[in-house]
Amino acid sequence: MVRGTARISRRRLLRNTGLAGAAAIGAPALAACGTDPVETAAPSAEDVSATDANLRFDNWPLYIDVSEEDENVRPTLQAFEDETDISVEYVEAINSNEEYFAKISPQLSAGQATGADVFVVTDWLVARLISLGWLQELNQDNLTTVAANIDPALQDPAFDPGRLYSVPWQSGITGIAYNSKALPDGITSFDQLLTDPALAGKVTLFSGMRESLPILAGAQGNGLEGFTDADVDAAIAKVEKAVADGQIRRFTGNDYADDLAQGNVVAALAWSGDVAQLQFDNPDLEFVIPDEGGELWSDNMVVPVGATRKTNAERLMDWYYQPEMAADLVNWVGYVCPVPAAREVLIGYGDEFSVATAESPLVFPSADDLSNVSVSRELTEDEEARYETDWNSVVT
In the chain, domain spans: 10-170+299-362, 172-295+379-395
3-state secondary structure of 299: strand
Hey, how many other C-beta atoms are within 10 angstroms of the C-beta on 198?
A: 12
Looking at the structure, give the CATH architecture of the domain made up of residues 10-170+299-362: 3-Layer(aba) Sandwich (3.40)
Q: Are strands 294-302 and 167-179 parallel, antiparallel or unpaired?
A: antiparallel
Q: Are strands 54-59 and 87-92 parallel, antiparallel or unpaired?
A: parallel
Among 371, 301, 317, 310, which residue's Cα sits nearest to residue 149?
317
Q: Specify the CATH superfamily of domain 172-295+379-395.
A: Periplasmic binding protein-like II (3.40.190.10)
Please check whether residue 305 is in contact with residue 108, taking contact to mean a CB–CB distance below 8 angstroms: yes
Please check whether residue 310 is in contact with residue 44, taking contact to mean a CB–CB distance below 8 angstroms: yes
Chain mean pLDDT for the chain? 88
Please check whether residue 100 is in contact with residue 40, taking contact to mean a CB–CB distance below 8 angstroms: no
The pLDDT score that the predictor gives to residue 255 is 79
The pLDDT score that the predictor gives to residue 385 is 93
Q: How far apart are CA 267 and CA 199, in angstroms?
A: 7
Residue 233's contacts (CB-CB under 8 Å, 6 or more residues apart) are none
Which amino acid would we find at residue 304? P
pTM over 0.95: no
Matching CATH topology for 10-170+299-362 and 172-295+379-395? yes
Could you tell me how many residues make up the chain? Answer: 396
Hey, how many other C-beta atoms are within 10 angstroms of the C-beta on 26?
A: 7
Give residue-wise pLDDT tens across range 251-292. Answer: 987 678 888 988 899 999 999 988 988 888 899 999 999 999
pLDDT under 50 in the chain at which residues?
1-40
